[in-house]
Amino acid sequence: MVPKSIAEKGTLTIAAATYPPAVIEPADGGTPTGWDVENVRQIAAVLGLKVQIKIAPFDGIIAGLQAGRYDGATGEIYATPERTKSVTFVTNHASADALMVPADSKITTAATETDLCGRVLAASLGSAEAALAQELAGKCKSAGKGAITVKTFKSQAEVNLALRGGRVDAAVSSASQVAYVMSQTKDQFKLVELPWAPTYKTGFVLGRNSDTEKFAKAVQAATDHLIENGDLQEILDKFNAGQGLIEKAETLPSAGSN
């Protein structure tokens, strides 16, 4: 099922932004790991391929795929309608967003979309979380409530540093990323649920070329195999508290859709 051009190359060049626990870059510059990195490695292994991970800024990954600099990308990248216009996703996971705030923050709940009006929110540049924060800012303005200030940063690490340094009131991230940071920082932060936030499918992201449709089918079949035999669940158990496995992989956009 693997296109000849990919099989002959043998190694996939995969872009990933550091985003624990999906993408963990060791401090010593060693081999990246994390649940989404290991997902991609397992999927590639089923297809008889190797993987080379290239750590890259998140906001440049989609453009890099479009330019052909990478064969694919990983790192809990949400399959949004905007992104599926230009790249192809083969899903293997589902994620939702949460809010991370300092442990002593007065923000204890965000039951409605306007509960965060008047706050300063941080998110990674180019992320779905940044778009969500901007959407909230618009709703606060329409409701005549205090303005939300959205600050974006080049990496999730910079987002977390801004929160730690008191430059923002809260950070919008995936729930698994918030849980990971909390586990590493000894009660410095707390998680505030966003019950109204959408759930997104994430997965292996492929750049578009003449081989993409065929290769996506191969990746989808390999993913379903690993879902069925429990291997992907084992990876999520190890790195992500078991969260997020879907029942069956799918290709987005589906064949014939725009």
By residue count, the chain amounts to 258
* Position 255 confidence tier, pLDDT thresholds 50, 70, 90: low
Kindly report, as residue ranges, where domains of CATH 3.40.190.10 are found in the chain.
4-93+199-252, 96-193
pLDDT in tens, 70-117: 999 999 999 999 999 999 999 999 999 999 999 999 999 999 999 999
CATH fold label, 4-93+199-252: D-Maltodextrin-Binding Protein; domain 2 (3.40.190)
Average pLDDT estimate for 160-185: 94
- Rounded Cα distance between 123 and 6, Å, is 35
Give the whole-angstrom CA distance, residue 37 versus residue 73.
9
Does the pLDDT at position 231 exceed 90? yes
Residues 26-47 have a mean pLDDT of: 94
How confident is the prediction for the chain on average, in pLDDT?
95
Q: pLDDT band at residue 254, thresholds of 50, 70 and 90?
A: confident
Section 242-256 average pLDDT: 89
Does the pLDDT value for residue 256 go beyond 60? Answer: no
**How would DSSP label each residue in the chain?**
---HHHHHH-EEEEEE--BTTTBB--TTS---BSHHHHHHHHHHHHTT-EEEEEE--GGGHHHHHHTTS-SEEESS-B--TTGGGTSEEEEEEEEEEEEEEETT-S-----STTTTTT-EEEEETTSHHHHHHHHHHHHHHHTT-PPPEEEEESSHHHHHHHHHTTSSSEEEEEHHHHHHHHHHTTTSEEEEE-TTSPEEEEEEEE--STTHHHHHHHHHHHHHHHHHTTHHHHHHHHHSTT--B-SS--EESPTT--
CATH architecture of 96-193: 3-Layer(aba) Sandwich (3.40)
At 28 the pLDDT is 84
Under 8 Å between Cβ of 199 and 94: yes
- pLDDT grade, residue 196 (50/70/90)? very high
Tokens 């987002």 belong to 159
Beta-carbon-side half-sphere exposure of residue 3 (alpha carbons within 13 Å): 16
Query: Is residue 29 over pLDDT 90?
Result: no
Q: Which residue has the tokens 């292994």?
A: 45
Lowest mean pLDDT among 107-116, 222-231, 247-256: 247-256
171 confidence band (pLDDT: 50, 70, 90): very high
Pairing of strands 251-252, 189-193: unpaired
pTM here is 0.90
